[in-house]
Copies of this chain bind each other. A is one copy, B any other.
Amino acid sequence: MVPTIKDVAKRAGVGIGTVSRVINNQKAVGDKTKSKVLSAMKELNYLPNNMASQLRRNRTKLIALLVPVISHPFFAKFAYYVEDQADKFGYSVLLVSSQQRVEKEKEIISRIKQRKVDGAVFVTHFMHDESLFTDCPIVSMDRTFGENVPYVTSDNYQATQNALEYMIERGARKIGFLGSKPLVESEVMERERAYIDLMNQKGMPVCSVNQVILHGEEEIIVNDFMQKYSDVDGVFVSGYSLSQIFYKRAVAQGKKIPNDLQIVSYDGEFAQWGVNNLTCVEQPIEQMAREIVNQLIKKINGEPTQMRTVIKTRFVEGLTTKK
């Protein structure tokens, strides 16, 4: 049979409490005792039973990460860093893809309540009933929902305006905006607000399509935009999927990029798959992921957290804007 802490204690000739102290390497163990225990552990090939310590400590050391779709390069990269950071605290990550279904969110809440996981990162969010998750350690990205859920976001407003100014400096006179609207309050909406504000300020026309869609339905927005505003000479596209589709479509229509049409995308540096070299506002995914995990661990441990953390984006000059 698999050896337990009792077997180790017997073999080392000590109490099980002492073995436990060695496992969790607490100070208060004498050197000789310690080495006796250590070698007993080695001889028996002992490994602590995780389930037992979980029960005692009331911690699973597991967090859930809820993303809309894993196969989206942004979320894939994000998930990678969440895992890496969680690991530093001894936590593993349960990756759940919501496919935009609100039940998945409820399911995770219930997992927390059943103590299958200690907390969760919500990148998606459709639930409106805040009361369901009071007391649940949850941290979010971009979404602002309620007093109890800290979130990490990027400088959406400023970064968008900077990107627009960049195109204007390079001659753009009629700039469009494409975006997909989140279902709940989210700082992502700042991007369109920044766009509208700047257009008004500059006396330029507002040519915006910003709708609620599901992942995978980006075509709808692109179609709609193309129909209404085919004569723009600059476009700000909010989000990687949209910009991929928009770019391909524009090229297919014979637009010369960047000469006829300049494009800046929010997100876009995922090189390997898809169109490369978009000029884009790059969110520092790694930094955002690590910060989110840090906040979550604090929440789990009952330490004070920061409600809103803003991470600065980086502007990447690609081939879809003029020199």
Contacts and interface: CB of A to CB of B under 8 A. Distances in A.
Interface of A: 47-52, 54-55, 58, 60, 70-71, 73, 76-77, 79-80, 83, 92-97, 110, 113-116, 216, 241, 244, 270, 272-274
Interface of A is mostly: mixed
Contact of A55 (B51, B73, B97): B51
Contact of A115 (B50, B71, B270): B50
B60 A272 contact: no
11 contacts: A47-B113, A50-B60, A51-B55, A51-B60, A54-B54, A70-B79, A71-B77, A80-B97, A83-B96, A83-B97, A92-B94
A169 B88 CA distance: 56
A140 B70 CA distance: 21
4 closest cross-chain pairs (CB), A and B: A71-B76, A95-B95, A51-B55, A273-B273
A70 B80 contact: yes
A50 B112 CA distance: 10
A57 to B, nearest CB: 9
Contacts of A70: 70, 76, 79-80, 95
